Structure 1
Amino acid sequence: MFKVSRLAFALLVLFVLSGFAGLIYQSVWSHYLGLTLGHAAYAQTLVLAIFMGGMAIGAWLASIYSIRWKRLILGYAVVEFAIGVFGLVFHPLFVGYTSISQETILPAFSNASLAHGYQWLTATLLITPQSVLLGATFPLMSAGLIRVLPNEHGEVLGGLYFTNSLGAAFGALLATFWLLPAVGMPGTVMTAGIVNIIVAIGAWALAKSLHEEDYVPVGHRQAAGAADTVASAEVKHLGRVLVWSTAISGAASFIYEVGWVRLLNQVFGTTIHSFELMLAAFIFGLAFGGLWVRKRAKHILEPVRYVGYVQVWMAIAALVSVPIFTQSFHWAGWIMGGLSPSASGYTLFEMATAAISLLVMFPAAFLAGMTLPLFTLALLRAGAGERSIGRIYAANTLGAIFGVVLAMHLLIPLIGVRLAVTFGALLDGLVGLYLLRVINPARLTRPVAFVALAMVAATGFSLVYGKPDPLKQIAGVFRTGLVELASAKVEFMRDGKTATVAVFTNGNMKAIATNGKPDASLTKASEEPSTDEITMIMAGALPLSLHPAPKKIAVIGWGSGLTTHTLLGSPLPEIVDTIEIEKAMVEGAKLYGDRVSRAYEDPRSRIHIDDARTFFSTGARKYDAIISEPSNPWVSGVAGLFTQEFYAFLKRHLNDGGMLVQWLHTYEINDALVGTMLAALAEEFPHTDLYVTNSSDLLILARVDGGEPIPRSFAESGSDLRDELDRVGLDRVEQIQLRYIGSARVLRNFIRLTDATPHSDYFPTVSLQAPRTRFMRSASTLLQHLVINGMPVLDVLDCRMPVAGDVGMPSTSISTFSEMRATAIAVSNALVNPDRLTMTALAKQSPELVDAVWTTLASSQRLVEDPDELAGWSYEVARLAGITIGALPGQDHLATWVEPVWLPAGALSRPEVASILDAYSSAARRSVSEMRLSAEKVLALPVDSLSPNLREQMLVIAMLGALAENDNAAVAKLDEKWGATLKGAGQHRPTRSYLLAWADSDEPTCLRDDP
């Protein structure tokens, strides 16, 4: 017996690995099939239903046929080996299937329902074989071990459930936090396959040592001596009761899981990390519930009564979890306030997420983990035989499927997340009370009455204290650290199938948010626009202005509906299809009223509640322009809309001459992640133009074909559109030009500098890393810096043309580039003609610069007589040069830097001052033939005589000149020679890094110094 027990322990260890691989499959299949089915609620449900349904079939088949087999552990080894082989070939099989589906089969479907049916059927065929095999593992291992340990039913069942669940929890965590970042989806699914094969080899070796053929199946042993008992009506009746009970319990457990995740998403954010931590917390609870049964099985004399009490206490724990959730906003706020925005801070934040998830989930999940072993134990002790193992497991799994479908598609949309959890708890409690009455129907005992009253009290407590404060739900504590938005007023809140959507006003802003994260904010038409408005309006304006005939347009993401509303303000579009994954988003945005009315009322507007991949795949849809404005890519599932595969997919749905307008934020993210998404876009769309709408939102205009688009005057666009454009300062084409960063060559060099590889469906770098950059409050600023650094960097590299100062365009504070231009004009006017009028205008634009201009003028006068004034003067003049030279074209610098009327003749007669002005003049005129020589002349002056900022400006000018001379090798030498003399100056370090990257390429500059 000692040897058998030791071998049984080894099998338990193998079952840990089996559970580990099983959860890796579930996790990674969701990623894979999400690429085909999309991340819509029905698709997520289908993935889980296939997985759980296949397992139920596998368990049921095992329960039917295993009684005939003599060597179940050996059979288990064969099943594990087959699962491993499927794991090894899954990725190439999926890639081939996706290619055939998207390029050949789906475009042939004109009926959307048929296309959906094809997707669901083929997705089912992809993972059902493995799912069926996975479902057979628990019954085979359980029955096999019970045969060799016939007197330890509870210990075996509890132990197996514990080890398998423990492995599953670690599988969920390691897949997300280690395997996916290290080897991507292909390597992750192959790792699971290798683990299965290792388990198979180990189980095969142990099966040979156990000599299973010497043991009699449990059902056979009982049939030989107690045929009447096995066939008794009581046992059959008990079997029916327990099968239905475990099915309902499984449904309730998964209602809890779905509900808890949806609730905690509002506290910790909807990220891949938070989901896996919550899932692991749930599975850990299940595992330790199984361990409890293993440790105490021998002392559980009446398992049906025991599981009846467990069901009621599980219901009570689930009811209490909801008020605990309402307190978690305060805990998260306290945690956010105590953590630094750093990598180590994010690690602690993840640990806190896991801890609070355990606090909410663990008690009920722990009790849920006890139920499956106890239901099975009750039937085995009643004499039902080992077939009951598979029956109970299959029923519990089918119940879980029903629970997920019920929660996502009925309960949550109908009664909300909180009441869905309450409903699941009442199901559990009623099952428990029913089981207790089945055991002793004659009388109501005190313990039964006590737990019944406790459940009633817990229900009341949950309903009264479990209602979350909407002001907390909209605060986004995981981003802001604010527990609630006390000054806000919530006008709409609804639990949709995929997210909780709220519309609220805060001051003069009305925002729409998903799970506490604002996705769009608007103000009234009579008030100053929000920073979001220019992005949404400009996203619609770009194809209307630059496409020759934008008749069919698709918009990915509803947001506020303003982009669709803007497009429909023009008579040019004939159809605007808007694809939104969450119906509650469309319903909530109606509260914006007239600001977005055309999106709802114009007959050209067609709203589709679907996932983007699924929508575009159904039928041969083609568009003149596609505008992609999804949520932030750190949100779980969204990063799949920023991959090379998705951009290749969209390209196939664009007509000849078609355009893609892609939104991308630069806040809460770093240059590397922006680079990997832009690299994915550039691989499929080599012709791109980059714009920045405000201070941190990019729009990338990507074209299928080459050639420069010819802007259409907004005057042709109709008064409705002009009203929207005028509101955000886009009243003329030059306003679009003003917000321009650069062309594809600028993007390509940014990708080189960040050493970015294209973001891929199968290597989800962004979804794995972006939550960390969000927490760290990172910012990707390099692309904007190339424009606002003060020197004509992109003018030389890419022929970017600043808008002339005599073009009458009012500035707007919601646009960094607009403010930059207005400030440059005001400084130039004040410097050239420092009278009351110009100084007043400068004061309105930037009060602190009034002193800077006066100081510069006064210092210039002192230069004539005081040689020591040069250092101070160089500091002031560098400041003004950095504000003006890069922001305005050459003709606007005649009186400031080419022939500076503000500089006394005596000062200009000084050689060092003349050299500085010559260098600035060459940069202002974009005279690349003079830049390098004139700037190096200044750099050769004594280091201490000039400000570090001016010297760094000269280094940038010299590097630009070298690039224009096609002397790329000199760029690095210039930086190496003079960079060491800057004495702490670093304002232009990003610019210098960018120029060094350009020099390492064979990319020519736009302005050339050709001999």
Structure 2
Amino acid sequence: MGKAGRVLKRTRRTDESKKEVFVTGTATEKIAKPVQILLISFFFISGACGLIYEVVWLRVLGLVFGNTTYATSAVIAGYMAGLGLGALYFGKRVDAHPQPIRLYGMLEGGVALYSFLTPLIWILIEKLFVGFARTFQPSFGVASFFKLIISFVVLFVPTFLMGGTLPALSKFFVRSGREMAKRIGLLYALNTLGAVVGVVASGFFLLYTIGVWQSVILTGMMNLAIFLVCQFYLTRFETSESITTNAMQPASVQAVNVSTMKENSFTRIALLVLFAVSGGVSMFYEVGWTRVLAIALGSSVYAFAVMLATFLLGIAIGSYIFSILSSRMSINLSTFAVLQAATAVLALVGLNFFDDMPYYFVKLFEHSGGSIYFIEAGKFLLCGAVMLPPTIFFGALFACFIHIYHHSDFVGGEVGQAYFANTLGTIFGSLLAGFILIPLIGIQSMLILAAWINVFIGLFAIMLSAPRIRFLTVRQMILMAVMVIAVGIGHAFAQPWNTSILTSGAMVTPQKNKGASKAAFTRSLGERSSLFYKEGLGSTVSVNKTRDYIAMSVNGKVEASNADDVFTQSFLGHLPLLIHPSAERVAIVGVGSAATLAAVTAHPVKHVDAIEIEKAVIDAAKYFEVINRDSLHDPRVNVVIDDGRNFLLVHEEPYDVIISQPSNPWMAGVANLFSREHYQTMQKRLKPGGVICQWLQTYSMSTEDLRMIIKTFSLVFPHVSLWTSYTPDLMLIGSNDPMEIDFTHLQEAWQNPIIRQDFEPHGIAEPEGFFSTYLLGDSEIKELAKGALTNSDNYPYLEFRAPRSLYRQTVLQNIQFINQYRASELPSIIHMIPPPDQNQELQNALVIGYARKAMYVQAKEALRKSLEINPGAPGFAYAAGFLNYRLDNYDEAWPLLESAIQASYETAEAHYILGVIATQKGLTVRAAVEFEKAHEMEPDKALYVFSLAQAAETAGKLDVAFQLYAHMLEMPWRADKPSNFDALMRMIDMTMKQGEFGYAKSLIDTMIKLYPESIYGYEKNSQLLEAQNRLDEVLAVTEEMARLFPDNPAPQFTLARLYDILGNAKASHEALERVVKLDPSLKDKPEIVRALSLTKS
């Protein structure tokens, strides 16, 4: 017997004894099991290293190119192209290479070498890109293409080398066709599992603890260690003789393949095309799931790490399971088709879970104890419920396809071809999903489309197994029919998502719904109506209305509203322009509702660049035209859709004022706008005397993180100060030059009625009150920041720390901390007469401004200083009365306010406050008198009209009250305007009490038209019909109300009562059971128990 025969004989004995080895023949005799384990361990580590590199390189290139969808897609495309081409190239070369382990080691060594050079390479990239952009000022398309080219060139070398690792090890481990699925599946599973570890390591630990570049160097050292072990130890176990011996046994390879498959180039090309399409579909799922999960579960760096890890874990599990089962099953194109169909069905089944995810997150939060790790682990379970079942089947596809596609002894080449085709598909799939399908048809429709494409891939695969369609077997045709029917049923049961629930922000404020049942949770969102919902290129933007409250959300996080946020939004625009006496050029990073832009355009500026990364935000801003005064169409405004950091990096034009109002830093990528490097770029873009205004929060932020932002900011700007609109929001002002506030500039600004109108509802009626927003100056900030961390691109502490404080109540703690460092009450002021320390009007205005912000310690100190200047001044009496009113000291406030009025310091607000106090004391007539005087002095203020209407209604003057409520409805919006809903509700109640049923019906119809999401109008319609004894109509209206508000028990309770009146005890009992089901807390109520008992009997 020749040498080759002995090898084949030994191979058969090994298979028959079912010993688990990774190689056969001569190599088996030489490689011990520990060495085998070492090799596959290396491939596991290699997978982890690859994902760490991907996370870091995407992050760093995002800082250079921007984090727009276009830039990110260019980077991902370059990364994936390198992997695919590397697999294709080395797949061909490895088959002729005598030592695949040596080749594998060299590939790992090349990656290591490149990783050590990356810090230098990335510096060169930034200089190259910025230089190109500044020199040629390319169009958007040219700039995007240039980013793609740079990404490809920069990432090509390492990804090209990474792409060759799987073909190299596949060639070494796979020695027969029978082992193909098993060995490839196991290798692919271990490498992907390593990727899961890499995602978790980089997303939770490495970048935060040791830094970005340090993580790259550490990862490179792991690659280097693999190289050294492979080159100087493992290569001794492979010899050219063993490989040659293996090459002498090609026979059994083909025996495994599907006999019915046409063995020609067309079939093989068709198979590669199907596998490429399959790769593209996988990206439809990954992109779609990530986008919707970011809305439902949040978009912190931890959340994205959990999502990606879940997706990869499913693939790893699927590949591993298939590798185990492959030796016990017949693998053919029908197997491939079934895997595709199973992926599709399970993906469709998961669609209906997304609406429930916000509720289950709230339940998860209830048991988390606030632990970020518990919460993220819970997110993994929620993500897994949707992603794991389909990705497990998806993970099995690679090994299955390789087994089918394998037809020669060139294992490496075939693995490389398959890997290249799949990777090529993922590139086009990600681009198609992000740029075309999501904006065109939406996320849910794209996921449904993906499922159908899976099925068609499966159908084509089955057809490829026969020479012609008419030669398909009955079993194959039945399988094809079952696949289509199964996906059709899944599609039919897929319900449209409730965007109001998805964008409810439950993942940001789960405390609001703690302890709520699922029905109660849904009911709490029942009065939200969707005005706008758009799945943009990078984010999902929605505008929801709850009665008169309108809020814009980006990925479920409220970014702007017409309520509490208004003053902060406008103050961000006014503050730097009131500090800078002659600003002409302004840049705003982050548009939101465009309220900040409206504030800026109220000043005599000449040019404003409004930079917004997501175009859908600009589209949504039209729902806030009352607030933004249509400023987006101001001819001085240039709207730029771009990454704000990248825009300032590339464009050298200087500005007088730069305003940065990003989202909260706990959201992934946002913390880059709070980094030292970004502040240094902003500093370079300032004209002499220029001012930076940076928003930051005190809520959901630890004191250490707050100090870190302030420290980072103050390290860059020599002159800084800290201001506040209301205590949850702060503004950092930075400049290269000393800052003095010119009081004459403030006085001139207050002559502008628009500016005055923005400030007056917030206790700043005069320019002196502006200084109540000041908190800290240079020396105080530097003292506060001592010992704090610095947030930088290499040490991105804020991005990883901020999510840990998301659910903490930190406002009071942070404000108290800031106040500890407050040594001066005022910034440097010039041209104020009398000077600040002698100016009683200033001190009185400070009292009112501080009291509005609940800064009572500061308000009392300002009042003390006013007292020292002139205790008999009417302004002092008013300020003292206002402060006591805010402190609920009504008995002290009353005489002080009266004395101020008597001393000719009469204001509408003084009368309004007296009216409120009189109402509290039960003095209804006096309250009406005071509200009437307030209304006479300021007839355009809706708050006074509403208060006067309430007083008239209480006094029984219903006609007067009705007219006042009607007048208020017609008044334009102001920040302090009461709710139109409340006014309309009072009008309906009054007309029903007076028996004016016809007028009441028209008002109810108006209520339903304006507020269709509110059950109130429907309930009043039912009550109106019942008051007229029109029971049949009442029943019809109430049944319709139950249909419109299925989670609200109130209509069911009314139905139970109506059915009982009509003598239908069974229907009444069923309605009561629905009441208890919707709200289990009612089941023990005596009236419910009694009614259930009576109707049952």
- TM-score norm. by structure 1 comes to 0.77
1:513 matched to 2:553? The reply is: yes
1:784 to 1:839, Cα distance in 2 relative to 1, 3 A: closer
Q: Could you tell me how far apart the structure 1 residues matched to 2:646 and 2:169 are?
A: 40
Contact 1:689-1:701 at 8 Å conserved across structures:
yes
Which residue is equivalent to 2:215?
A: 188
Which residue is equivalent to 1:559?
A: 592
Which residue is equivalent to 2:566?
A: 533
Amino acid paired to 1:181: Y
CA RMSD of aligned residues (A): 3.4
1:179 matched to 2:209? The reply is: no
1:375 matched to 2:401? The reply is: yes
1:202 to 1:520, Cα distance in 2 relative to 1, 3 A: same
1:37 to 1:425, Cα distance in 2 relative to 1, 3 A: same
Q: Could you tell me how far apart the structure 1 residues matched to 2:644 and 2:317 are?
A: 40
Tell me which of 254, 263, 274 is aligned to 1:234. 263
Q: CA deviation at 1:722?
A: 3.6
Contact 2:568-2:725 at 8 Å conserved across structures:
yes
Q: Could you tell me how far apart the structure 1 residues matched to 2:865 and 2:493 are?
A: 65
Tell me which of 577, 600, 606 is aligned to 1:544. 577
Contact 1:670-1:778 at 8 Å conserved across structures:
yes
Q: CA deviation at 1:731?
A: 4.2
Contact 1:567-1:721 at 8 Å conserved across structures:
no
1:310 matched to 2:339? The reply is: yes
Tell me which of 123, 128, 132 is aligned to 2:160. 132
Q: CA deviation at 1:153?
A: 1.5
Tell me which of 819, 824, 840 is aligned to 1:794. 824
Map 1:401-550 onto structure 2 (within 5 A): 401-440=427-466, 441=469, 442-443=471-472, 445=474, 449=478, 452-453=481-482, 455-462=484-491, 464-481=493-510, 482=513, 483-484=521-522, 485-522=525-562, 530-550=563-583
Provide, for residues 834-865 of structure 1, a one-character-per-residue CA deviation record: whole Å limited to 9, x for no partner: 999999756632225859999xxxxxxxxxxx
Q: CA deviation at 1:653?
A: 1.7
Contact 1:537-1:566 at 8 Å conserved across structures:
yes
Tell me which of 171, 186, 189 is aligned to 1:143. 171
1:91 matched to 2:119? The reply is: yes
Amino acid paired to 1:510: I
Which residue is equivalent to 1:991?
A: none
Provide, for residues 623-678 of structure 1, a one-character-per-residue CA deviation record: whole Å limited to 9, x for no partner: 11110001001110000000000011111222222111111111100111112222
Q: Could you tell me how far apart the structure 1 residues matched to 2:291 and 2:245 are?
A: 44
The DSSP-based 3-state class of the residue aligned with 1:760 is coil
Q: Could you tell me how far apart the structure 1 residues matched to 2:645 and 2:31 are?
A: 53
Provide, for residues 198-232 of structure 1, a one-character-per-residue CA deviation record: whole Å limited to 9, x for no partner: 122233322321225422498885499999x9999
Which residue is equivalent to 1:169?
A: 196
Provide, for residues 240-264 of structure 1, a one-character-per-residue CA deviation record: whole Å limited to 9, x for no partner: 1220111111111111111111111
Q: CA deviation at 1:586?
A: 0.9
Amino acid paired to 1:29: W
1:699 to 1:236, Cα distance in 2 relative to 1, 3 A: same
Which residue is equivalent to 2:914?
A: none
Tell me which of 759, 768, 772 is aligned to 1:734. 768
Q: CA deviation at 1:598?
A: 3.2
Amino acid paired to 1:69: H
Contact 1:695-1:814 at 8 Å conserved across structures:
no
Q: Could you tell me how far apart the structure 2 residues matched to 1:630 and 1:356 are?
A: 29
Contact 1:146-1:218 at 8 Å conserved across structures:
no
Contact 2:133-2:650 at 8 Å conserved across structures:
yes
Q: Could you tell me how far apart the structure 2 residues matched to 1:478 and 1:224 are?
A: 56
Amino acid paired to 1:702: G
Q: CA deviation at 1:539?
A: 1.3
Contact 1:668-1:775 at 8 Å conserved across structures:
yes
Runs of 5+ unmatched residues, structure 1 = 523-529, 855-1011
Q: CA deviation at 1:732?
A: 3.6
Amino acid paired to 1:79: L
Which residue is equivalent to 2:938?
A: none
Which residue is equivalent to 1:634?
A: 666
Contact 1:110-1:619 at 8 Å conserved across structures:
no
The worse-fitting range, judged by mean Cα deviation, of 111-120 and 250-259 is: 111-120
Which residue is equivalent to 1:882?
A: none
Q: CA deviation at 1:460?
A: 4.8
Tell me which of 683, 688, 700 is aligned to 1:668. 700
Q: CA deviation at 1:355?
A: 1.1
Q: CA deviation at 1:468?
A: 2.2
Q: CA deviation at 1:170?
A: 0.5
Tell me which of 726, 729, 735 is aligned to 1:697. 729
Provide, for residues 455-491 of structure 1, a one-character-per-residue CA deviation record: whole Å limited to 9, x for no partner: 5454454465442222212221112224552332221
Runs of 5+ unmatched residues, structure 2 = 1-27, 514-520, 830-834, 896-1097
Q: Could you tell me how far apart the structure 1 residues matched to 2:504 and 2:577 are?
A: 36
Q: CA deviation at 1:417?
A: 1.2
The DSSP-based 3-state class of the residue aligned with 1:479 is coil
Map 1:709-728 onto structure 2 (within 5 A): 709-711=741-743, 712-716=745-749, 718-728=752-762
Tell me which of 816, 838, 841 is aligned to 2:853. 816
The DSSP-based 3-state class of the residue aligned with 1:555 is strand
Q: Could you tell me how far apart the structure 2 residues matched to 1:84 and 1:122 are?
A: 21
Q: CA deviation at 1:398?
A: 0.8
- TM-score norm. by structure 2 comes to 0.71
1:76 matched to 2:104? The reply is: yes
Which residue is equivalent to 1:918?
A: none
The worse-fitting range, judged by mean Cα deviation, of 252-261 and 713-722 is: 713-722
Tell me which of 723, 740, 759 is aligned to 1:708. 740
Provide, for residues 699-736 of structure 1, a one-character-per-residue CA deviation record: whole Å limited to 9, x for no partner: 11111223435351353474444433434444443232
Q: CA deviation at 1:786?
A: 4.5
Which residue is equivalent to 1:986?
A: none
1:811 to 1:303, Cα distance in 2 relative to 1, 3 A: farther
Q: CA deviation at 1:356?
A: 1.2
Q: CA deviation at 1:520?
A: 0.8
1:749 to 1:851, Cα distance in 2 relative to 1, 3 A: same
Which residue is equivalent to 2:612?
A: 580
Provide, for residues 536-580 of structure 1, a one-character-per-residue CA deviation record: whole Å limited to 9, x for no partner: 11111123222232111110001111111121122x211111111
The DSSP-based 3-state class of the residue aligned with 2:507 is helix
Which residue is equivalent to 2:939?
A: none
Which residue is equivalent to 1:527?
A: none
1:840 to 1:566, Cα distance in 2 relative to 1, 3 A: closer
The DSSP-based 3-state class of the residue aligned with 2:740 is coil
1:474 to 1:538, Cα distance in 2 relative to 1, 3 A: same
Which residue is equivalent to 1:200?
A: 227
1:745 matched to 2:779? The reply is: yes
Q: Could you tell me how far apart the structure 1 residues matched to 2:865 and 2:581 are?
A: 38
Provide, for residues 675-697 of structure 1, a one-character-per-residue CA deviation record: whole Å limited to 9, x for no partner: 22222211211111110111111
Tell me which of the two structures has the higher relative contact order, counting C-alpha pairs closer than 8 angstroms and 6 or more residues apart. Answer: 1
The worse-fitting range, judged by mean Cα deviation, of 253-262 and 501-510 is: 501-510
Amino acid paired to 2:195: A
Map 1:562-641 onto structure 2 (within 5 A): 562-570=595-603, 572-641=604-673
1:684 matched to 2:716? The reply is: yes
Provide, for residues 85-144 of structure 1, a one-character-per-residue CA deviation record: whole Å limited to 9, x for no partner: 111221233234435654x55433433445555444333322221011111111111122
The DSSP-based 3-state class of the residue aligned with 1:658 is strand
1:288 matched to 2:317? The reply is: yes
Contact 1:552-1:624 at 8 Å conserved across structures:
yes
Amino acid paired to 1:390: G
Q: Could you tell me how far apart the structure 2 residues matched to 1:729 and 1:851 are?
A: 20
Which residue is equivalent to 2:373?
A: 347
Provide, for residues 853-893 of structure 1, a one-character-per-residue CA deviation record: whole Å limited to 9, x for no partner: 99xxxxxxxxxxxxxxxxxxxxxxxxxxxxxxxxxxxxxxx
Amino acid paired to 1:844: Y
The DSSP-based 3-state class of the residue aligned with 2:220 is helix
Which residue is equivalent to 2:946?
A: none
Identical aligned pairs, as a percentage? 25
1:354 to 1:455, Cα distance in 2 relative to 1, 3 A: farther
Q: Could you tell me how far apart the structure 2 residues matched to 1:677 and 1:130 are?
A: 35
Q: CA deviation at 1:294?
A: 1.5
